[in-house]
């Protein structure tokens, strides 16, 4: 008790009582923050509230001139922000106000935590910004122009009374609300234009319960401005939609309060209670259809909130939104839905039919195209086979020509041996060889091979030719086959074992049998047949 610690705009200052007077003792080095709130806990730890930077936890040196330790607490350490944090003591326990809830310091965990045990008992005053101790276990919780007195012991809080200063048209100093204990009998409230006193032993009274909160009048208006006064004897009433502007007035009969303040709300229009106001009426314009509950409440002279009184009403829908109209709309809507469904169903069926027809047509086209591709491939394959057969036929024909030419040459040489002055070879033996050669040249086996290859290459050529010209002989058919191969008379001669002139003669007779004109080309006719 020999020392005082003061926070200033720039530093901490220590005073010492000397000869019964407080004198400046030391200026503490190491801390230069303007600090308004300061408390010392049971461990002689100093807690300083800096309204912008947060809370500082300090330890003084033994000589009280410097800091031994400094720790800062702010938003990172558990507070909602760094601003407007103030420090007070309740039951020798450090408590921090933030304007929302109270916080305290956990000595075991060394961290800031919400003071939930107390917050749940303060009836809304956990958002107090200033706490003043005004007696043994008695504290004043202050918020704006509203404060309540609580008895707090062993973390149990009991509200003694409440003072809502606007009821008396009084206001605390803006930003600096304070209640100071003068003595056991009186406490002083600092106002913006003076002071007010209230007794130190104030207890809750029942005078506030003697008042009566009630509705004075209920009026509705239409769009033309006409008004209609509704009876207050009914707890529920209905209004036509044209009368959807409502005005409600109310009053609180209590002679202990010079001025009344009210809060009201209209469910479901208002999200919460309105601000406290002395205005004793409210008007809601052009309310939409629906059910509504209007509530109003007030404050007693001791600051207690009264139970709200309730008024229920209903705004009917406009005629076009009446139940009968809604039934008609529903019927029309169902009819529209039905006809729309039928229309789109028919349209969908036609679309499916068209798609099915298109699909079938496409499949037929694809099938026809595939068949054409198959025929094309077959034709190409057949043409390849014909070309191959023609090559075989040509090779066979040329081989046959060379063979016959060779045999004819040998035969001619043997014929020369039969000349009388050519002595040396028996005539009989020579004629035998010539006969064998002629027989080989005219061998039917070669013709059968040729005819087989020719039929493979040119189909039923002989059959068609014989059917058209039945008078043709076997020799004529052979000549036609050789002409079909576009062979010259010189090439045909050895195949038929006749002379070139003989071939021409046969060609002439063939023209007669084919009934060709004189200017007709025999080879072109055979090639086109």
pLDDT in tens, 183-195: 888 899 999 999 9
The Cα 52–Cα 58 span in angstroms is 17
Average pLDDT over residues 482-497: 80
Average pLDDT on 118-145 reads 94
Alpha carbons 461 and 393: distance in angstroms, whole number: 14
| pLDDT for residue 443 | 55
Q: So what's the pLDDT on residue 221?
A: 94
| pLDDT, position 208 | 45
Question: Terminal CA-to-CA distance of the chain, rounded, Å?
Answer: 146
Mean pLDDT value across residues 313-340: 81
What pLDDT is recorded for position 82?
92
| H-run or E-run covering 453 | helix 444-458
Quote the pLDDT of residue 372.
Answer: 86
Residue 105's Cβ-count burial label (10 Å; 0-12, 13-18, 19+) is: buried
| Cα–Cα separations (whole angstroms), residue 43 to 22, 40, 57, 94, 155 | 24, 8, 12, 11, 20
CA 296, 301, 305, 310 torsion-angle sign = negative
Position with higher pLDDT, 134 vs 417: 134
Query: What gap in Å lies between CA 104 and CA 357, rounded to an integer?
Result: 84
Quick check: 145 and 171 in contact, CB under 8 A? yes
Average pLDDT of the residues in 112-138: 94
Look at residue 463 in the predicted model and tell me its pLDDT. 84
* pLDDT given at position 31: 92
pLDDT at 428 over 90: no
Most confident of 276-290, 296-310, 477-491, 501-515: 276-290
* Predicted local confidence at residue 201, as pLDDT: 67
* Pick from 41-45, 125-129, 406-410, 420-424: least confident: 420-424
Task: Round the average pLDDT of the chain to a whole number and report it.
Answer: 85
For 379-423, the pLDDT digits (tens) are: 777 777 666 666 666 666 666 666 666 666 776 666 676 655 555
Beta bridge partners of 15: 4, 24
pTM of the model: 0.53
Comparing 66-80, 277-291, 307-321, the range with the smallest average pLDDT is 307-321
Does residue 276 or residue 131 have the better pLDDT? 131
pLDDT band per the 50, 70, 90 thresholds, residue 436: low
pLDDT tens per residue across span 210-255 = 678 999 999 999 989 899 998 888 778 899 989 999 999 999 987 6
What residues contact 227, with CB distance under 8 A and at least 6 apart? 219, 220, 221
pLDDT tops 80 at residue 444:
no
pLDDT at residue 145 greater than cutoff 80: yes
Residue 371, pLDDT above cutoff 90: no
Residue in 233, 132, 236 with CA at minimum distance from that of residue 187: 132
The span from the CA of 164 to the CA of 141, in Å, is 12
Structure tokens, 94: 């450090």
Predicted local distance difference test score (pLDDT) of residue 195: 94
CA–CA separation, 520 and 515 (whole Å): 10
At residue 402, the pLDDT reads 67
For the segment 477-496, the average pLDDT, to the nearest whole number, is: 81
Q: Which DSSP letter does residue 273 get? A: P
Mean pLDDT of 123-152: 93
- Kindly tell me if the per-residue pLDDT of 55 is higher than 90: yes
User: For residue 206, what pLDDT band results from cuts at 50, 70 and 90?
Assistant: very low
- In angstroms, how far is CA 436 from the centroid of its own chain? 102
Q: What percent of the chain has pLDDT over 70?
A: 85
State the pLDDT confidence band at 468, using cuts at 50, 70 and 90. confident
- What average pLDDT does the segment 273-279 reach? 91
Strand 130-135's sheet: what is its strand order?
Answer: 130-135, 138-143, 146-153, 156-164
For residue 435, pLDDT over 50 is answered with yes
The stretch 504-511 carries a mean pLDDT of 86
Q: Which residue has the tokens 């809601």?
A: 284
């Amino acid at each position: 008790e020999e020392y005082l610690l003061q926070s200033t705009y720039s530093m901490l200052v220590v005073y010492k009582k000397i000869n019964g007077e407080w004198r400046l003792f030391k200026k503490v080095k190491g801390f230069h923050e303007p600090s308004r709130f300061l408390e010392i806990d049971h461990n002689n730890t100093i807690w300083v509230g800096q309204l912008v930077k947060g809370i500082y936890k300090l330890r003084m040196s033994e000589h009280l001139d410097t800091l031994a330790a400094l720790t800062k607490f702010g938003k990172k350490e558990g507070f909602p922000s760094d601003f407007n944090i103030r420090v007070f003591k309740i039951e020798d326990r450090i408590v921090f106000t933030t304007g929302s809830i109270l916080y305290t310091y956990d000595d075991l965990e060394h961290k800031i935590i919400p003071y939930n045990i107390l917050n749940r008992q303060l009836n809304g005053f956990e958002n107090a910004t200033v706490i003043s101790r005004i007696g043994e276990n008695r504290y004043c919780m202050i918020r704006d122009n509203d404060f309540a007195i609580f008895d707090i012991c062993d973390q149990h809080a009991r509200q003694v009374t409440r003072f809502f200063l606007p009821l008396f048209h009084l206001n605390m100093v803006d930003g600096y609300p304070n209640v100071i204990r003068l003595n056991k009998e009186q406490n002083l409230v600092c106002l913006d234009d003076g002071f007010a006193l209230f007794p130190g032993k104030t207890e809750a009274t029942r005078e506030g319960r003697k008042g009566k909160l009630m509705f004075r009048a209920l009026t509705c208006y239409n769009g033309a401005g006409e008004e209609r006064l509704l009876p207050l004897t009914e707890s529920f009433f209905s209004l036509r939609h044209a009368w959807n502007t409502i005005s409600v007035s109310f009053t609180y009969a209590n002679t202990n309060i010079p001025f009344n303040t009210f809060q009201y709300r209209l469910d479901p229009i208002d999200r919460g209670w309105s601000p406290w106001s002395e205005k004793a009426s409210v008007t809601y314009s052009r309310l939409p259809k629906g059910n509504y509950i209007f509530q109003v409440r007030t404050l007693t002279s001791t600051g207690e909130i009264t139970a709200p009184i309730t008024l229920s009403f209903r705004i009917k829908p406009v005629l076009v939104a009446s139940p009968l109209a809604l039934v008609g709309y529903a019927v029309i809507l169902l009819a529209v839905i039905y006809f729309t469904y039928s229309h789109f169903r028919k349209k969908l069926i036609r679309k499916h039919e068209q798609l099915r027809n298109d699909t079938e047509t496409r499949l037929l086209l694809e099938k026809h195209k595939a068949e054409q591709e198959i025929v094309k491939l077959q034709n190409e394959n057949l043409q390849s086979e014909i070309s191959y057969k023609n090559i075989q036929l040509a090779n066979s024909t040329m081989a046959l020509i060379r063979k016959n030419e060779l045999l004819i040459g040998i035969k001619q040489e043997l014929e020369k041996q039969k000349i009388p002055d050519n002595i040396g070879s028996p005539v009989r033996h020579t004629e035998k060889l010539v006969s064998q050669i002629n027989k080989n040249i005219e061998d039917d086996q070669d013709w059968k091979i040729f005819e087989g290859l020719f039929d493979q290459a040119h189909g039923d050529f002989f059959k068609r030719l014989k059917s058209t010209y039945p008078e043709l002989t076997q020799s004529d058919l052979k000549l036609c086959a050789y002409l079909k191969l576009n062979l010259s008379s010189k090439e045909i001669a050895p195949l038929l074992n006749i002379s070139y002139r003989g071939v021409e003669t046969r060609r002439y007779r063939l023209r007669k049998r084919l009934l060709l004109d004189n200017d007709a080309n025999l080879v072109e006719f055979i090639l086109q047949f």
